[in-house]
Amino acid sequence: MDIAIRCRDLRKVYEGKPPVEALRGLDLEVRAGECFGILGPNGAGKTTTVEILEGILQASGGEVEVLGLRWGRSDRALRERIGVSLQETRLADKLTVEETLDLFGSFYEKGRSALEVMAEVGLTEKRSAWVVKLSGGQRQRLAVACALIGNPDLLFLDEPTTGLDPQSRRQIWDIVRDLRRRGRTILLTTHYMDEAERLCDRVAVVDHGRVIALGTPSELIASLKGEHVVEFAVNGNVEPRPLDPQSLLALPSVRSVRSEPGGLLMTVDEPHVAIPALLERLGREGHGLSRLATRHASLEDVFVALTGRRLRDE
Amino acid sequence: MSRRHPFLLLVLARMRELMREPEVVFWVFVFPILLAVGLGVAFRNKPPDEIAVGVVAAAGSDRVVSALPPAGGFRVVTISADEAADRLRLGKVALVVVPGPSYEYRYDPTRPDSVLARLKVHDALERAAGRADPVEVHETLVTEPGARYIDFLIPGLLGMNIMSGGMWGVGFLLVDMRSRRLLKRLVATPMRRADFLGAIMTSRMILVFAEMALLLFFGWLVFHLVIQGSLWTITLLAVLGAFVFSGLGLLVACRTAKIETASGLMNLVMLPMFVCSGIFFSPDRFPAAVQPLVKALPLTALNDALRATILEGATLPSQSGRILLMLAWGLVSFAVALKIFRWN
Ligand SMILES: Nc1ncnc2c1ncn2[C@@H]1O[C@H](COP(=O)(O)OP(=O)(O)O)[C@@H](O)[C@H]1O
Ligand SMILES: [Mg+2]
């Protein structure tokens, strides 16, 4: 299998007072033709990683190989073959969509026509509109279009949907899925677990500058002890003695128990075994149930299980 | 679609952006013209003011009044002695004449207009009394274009525009692009950096050329400015000026990330030149001790060279000292700026 990106023991220290150690030995391997996601909270080191891979930031240590080439030796050839959408770029306000794309297209030897790319990201109607007049979602689609205009073999999208409304997010997802179907290799970063679950073939969960889990979304979820989540709360008006969370581990099929604000959260293998046992136990001890919900475990639960923190600090 | 060279598209994009920015159009094209009109009118060379004379009403005042006709530049009022004293004190008349067997002149000898009025009035009264002039005189009046304030001003405004255009047009632009991460985005493409910087310089040159043509044409049309030197020489000087100040703009922008910092730096660099380099008044007014410093400023060299060419018809070789000074500023700025420029 072809490897599109390989990096080993990547390190980055931002000089300053105090210096910031953004990457602490990060390993990554992205296969050709897959959509690979880097999932992590703010400040995890996603942007730093991506910008090193894009050749616009110098690593402090480690090895990087992109499309079989190395930065510093084959820069021009590499730039011809990658497409980039940075986290938050504000393109020139007073150029139109088409002028912007023509300009970016002119930098590439095998640049595509602006018309074709506008159609691909659904901006044909806006071709004569100034960038400053576009909505947030349209600007983001233009940023993706600028990444596509060079007909790249490898596409980097840094937080492509952050800050967008649900409909705009879905439009970006459609573009990414379409690209993947046509065999492009995509590396995207996100702090939305649903985005990673929906779009990515494989995901690396990154925290504090390191990969802490790697696999397909379903593998990662399966690695949790218990693929189902049961959340419930008890009301305390009948209170012979407080409910001890750890004692619930004794129930059949229950794998973990955690206190959450406003209730308890259990991961279980089989809800149809665990829930009757839970109800029986609560009834026996005189606790009333005020809330009960079950759902499939998500990447969010994987992150919480690994770090004890949530992806997004609400 | 025919694919065009990135350099051309970069220049085109730059020019489009500039022309779509109302502020730029105002500062570059409208502002210098407004300044020329305003200052040109305020400091125009006026004909001499008329001479206000008070004649005290008394026997013989008619004779005095008729000896001082408006055609001779006099404005005469006949008034009482008290009121004459008041008006003299308030400066409403320059001189009071008291008629009588002998004339009495009342005036303040420290007021130049009063001294002038005394001479003129005395001359007119003597002549009316029948003085014969022993020497015959012809007067030919000359007010040459070239020696007026507006003639001094227009080359200065051109120099000022070349400076602020270069500094803002290059320095501010680059810092703005860096702060919106557009510079970083461009670096992530195969774009050649030389194309990019070359395009910015080229669009500056185009703009300088347009500014120069507009200002000189306007000066010729409205103020009858006479351009003594060759237009080629003037253009060459303007282009050299644009090069120098683009270099300084690049230097200011090479590491600055924030727009505010850039504005501050830019004003810090430009302020001494606004004041000292002879935009609105001649730098010769500064004390001799600071003259070497003043003369070493690139805008002083540019303004002096532009004035010498436009007003005195100086040739390019005669300006070689100033040209070399500007070249040195430009080359050093560029060399340093490109060495330490931060693209991301
Ligand atoms: N230019 C910089 N200078 C100093 N610290 C930085 C810089 N850029 C990022 N960092 C720090 O490095 C860490 C990783 O940042 P980043 O890669 O942007 O994370 P993410 O993209 O996952 O949010 C953070 O702690 C951030 O504050
Ligand atoms: Mg980021």
CATH number of the structural domain spanning residue B103: 3.40.190.10
A51-79 burial, b if ≥16 CB within 10 A, otherwise e?
A: bbbbbbbebeebebbbbeeebeebeeebb
Q: Does B27 map to a domain? A: yes
For residue B192, count other CB atoms closer than 10 A to its CB.
14
Per-residue pLDDT band at B112 (split at 50, 70, 90): confident
| High-pLDDT (> 90) share of chain B, % | 63
CA-to-CA separations, B47 to A107, B50, B137, in angstroms, rounded: 63, 9, 21
> Counting beta carbons within 10 angstroms of the beta carbon of residue B97, is it exposed (0 to 12), middle (13 to 18) or buried (19 or more)?
buried
B276-299 pLDDT tens trace: 999 999 998 899 999 999 999 999
Assign A97 to helix, strand or coil. Answer: helix
Q: What residues in chain B have their Cβ under 8 A from chain A's Cβ atoms?
A: 1, 3-6, 9-10, 13, 16-17, 20-21, 180-182, 184-185, 187-191, 343-344
| High-pLDDT (> 70) share of chain A, % | 96
How far apart are alpha carbons A186 and A33 in whole angstroms? Answer: 7
B126: which residues sit within 8 A by CB, 6+ positions away?
none
Q: Give the tokens for residue A108.
A: 């590439």
Residue A142 has pLDDT above 90, yes or no: yes
Per-residue pLDDT band at A314 (split at 50, 70, 90): very low
B81-105 pLDDT tens trace: 999 999 999 989 999 999 988 889 9
Please list every residue in chain A whose beta carbon sits closer than 8 Å to the beta carbon of residue B172.
none
A89 and chain B in contact, CB less than 8 A: yes
Based on the fold, state whether residues B189 and B242 are members of the same structural domain. Answer: yes
> Counting beta carbons within 10 angstroms of the beta carbon of residue B15, is it exposed (0 to 12), middle (13 to 18) or buried (19 or more)?
middle
Which pLDDT does position B47 carry in this prediction? 66
Q: Give the tokens for residue B242.
A: 């644009």
Residues, beta carbon < 5 Å, ion ligand 2: A 46-47, 87
Assign B335 to helix, strand or coil. Answer: helix
- Please, are residues A232 and A293 in contact by the beta-carbon 8 Å criterion? yes
Q: Where in chain A do CATH 3.30.70.980 domains reside?
A: 225-296
Judge: domain A3-217, CATH 3.10.20.30.
no
CATH code of the domain occupying A225-296 = 3.30.70.980
User: Which whole number is the average pLDDT over A170-175?
Assistant: 94
Residue A242 has pLDDT above 90, yes or no: no
Q: Is A77 left (phi over 0), alpha (psi -120 to 50) or beta?
A: alpha
Please list every residue in chain A whose beta carbon sits closer than 8 Å to the beta carbon of residue B181.
86, 88-90
Stretch among A43-52, A59-68, A172-181, B335-344 having the lowest mean pLDDT: B335-344
The model's pTM: 0.82
Q: Does B135 map to a domain? A: no
A55 and chain B in contact, CB less than 8 A: yes
Based on the fold, state whether residues B249 and B233 are members of the same structural domain. Answer: yes
A261-285 pLDDT tens trace: 778 888 888 889 999 999 998 888 8
Based on the fold, state whether residues B101 and B201 are members of the same structural domain. Answer: no
Subunit contact B190:A150, Cβ cutoff 8 A: yes
Residue B1 has pLDDT above 80, yes or no: no
Among B120, B155, B142, smallest CA distance to B228 is for B155
How far apart are alpha carbons B238 and B11 in whole angstroms? Answer: 19
Based on the fold, state whether residues B24 and B58 are members of the same structural domain. Answer: no
How far apart are alpha carbons B296 and B317 in whole angstroms? Answer: 19
Q: Give the tokens for residue B231.
A: 């237009």
Residue A94 has pLDDT above 80, yes or no: yes
Q: How many domains does chain B have?
A: 2
Which pLDDT does position A239 carry in this prediction? 54
Residue A313 has pLDDT above 60, yes or no: no
Among residues B93, B128, B163, which one ends one of the domains? B128
A15-70 pLDDT tens trace: 988 999 999 999 999 999 999 999 999 999 999 999 999 999 999 999 999 999 99
- Please, are residues B326 and B302 in contact by the beta-carbon 8 Å criterion? yes
Assign A96 to helix, strand or coil. Answer: strand
H helix count then E strand count, chain B: 15, 4
At B238, the amino acid letter reads A
**Looking only at Cα atoms, what is the longest distance across chain B?**
99
Nearest atom (ligand 1) to Cα of A48: 17
Based on the fold, state whether residues B282 and B305 are members of the same structural domain. Answer: yes
Based on the fold, state whether residues B164 and B288 are members of the same structural domain. Answer: yes
Which pLDDT does position A312 carry in this prediction? 66
> Counting beta carbons within 10 angstroms of the beta carbon of residue A183, is it exposed (0 to 12), middle (13 to 18) or buried (19 or more)?
exposed
Among residues B96, B128, B160, which one ends one of the domains? B128
In this prediction, the answer to ipTM > 0.95 reads: no
Residue B50 has pLDDT above 80, yes or no: yes
How far apart are alpha carbons A215 and B140 in whole angstroms? Answer: 100
Helix axes B149-166, B31-42, angle to 10 degrees: 160
Q: How many CA atoms lie within 13 A of A212 on its CB side?
A: 19
How far apart are alpha carbons B98 and B102 in whole angstroms? Answer: 9
Based on the fold, state whether residues B287 and B313 are members of the same structural domain. Answer: yes
Q: Does B225 map to a domain? A: yes
Based on the fold, state whether residues B35 and B64 are members of the same structural domain. Answer: no
Residue B126 has pLDDT above 90, yes or no: no
State the ligand closest to the CA atom of A163: 2
Q: Does B244 map to a domain? A: yes
Q: Where in chain A do CATH 3.40.50.300 domains reside?
A: 3-217
Helix axes B231-253, B193-223, angle to 10 degrees: 130
Dist. CA A81 → ligand 1 center (Å): 26
Which pLDDT does position A236 carry in this prediction? 63
| Backbone phi, psi, residue B188, to 5° | -80, -5
Based on the fold, state whether residues B124 and B37 are members of the same structural domain. Answer: no
Domain range for B104 = 51-128
Among B296, B318, B299, smallest CA distance to B233 is for B318
* DSSP states of A210-246: EEEEEE-HHHHHHTSS-SEEEEEEEETTS-SS---GG
Q: Does B134 map to a domain? A: no
Q: Does B137 map to a domain? A: no
B225-264 pLDDT tens trace: 889 999 999 999 999 999 999 999 999 999 898 999 999 9
Q: Does B139 map to a domain? A: no
How far apart are alpha carbons B344 and B342 in whole angstroms? Answer: 6
Query: Angle at the Cα of B325 (from B233 to B255), degrees rounded to 5?
Result: 110
Per-residue pLDDT band at B49 (split at 50, 70, 90): confident
Which of B1, B16, B188 is facing A99, going by the closest CB pair?
B16
Based on the fold, state whether residues B282 and B314 are members of the same structural domain. Answer: yes
Chain B contact probe: residue of A12, A48, A89 with most B CBs at under 10 A = A89
How far apart are alpha carbons B316 and B313 in whole angstroms? Answer: 10
Residue A240 has pLDDT above 70, yes or no: no
What average pLDDT is seen over chain A? 90
A228-235/A288-296 β-pairing: antiparallel
Shortest alpha-carbon distance between residue A23 and chain B (Å): 19
Which of B1, B13, B184 is facing A86, going by the closest CB pair?
B184
B126-134 contacts, C-beta under 8 A, 24 or more apart: B127/B67, B128/B63, B128/B66, B128/B67
Based on the fold, state whether residues B67 and B189 are members of the same structural domain. Answer: no
Query: Who lines ligand 1 at CB under 6 A?
Result: A 14, 16, 20, 22, 40, 42-48
B104-106/B95-98 β-pairing: antiparallel
Nearest atom (ligand 1) to Cα of A50: 17
Which pLDDT does position A299 carry in this prediction? 86
Among residues B94, B128, B162, which one ends one of the domains? B128
Subunit contact B182:A90, Cβ cutoff 8 A: yes
Based on the fold, state whether residues B119 and B36 are members of the same structural domain. Answer: no
Q: Edge to edge, what strands does the sheet with A263-268 contain?
A: A254-260, A263-268, A228-235, A288-296
- Please, are residues B202 and B169 in contact by the beta-carbon 8 Å criterion? no
Q: Does B140 map to a domain? A: no
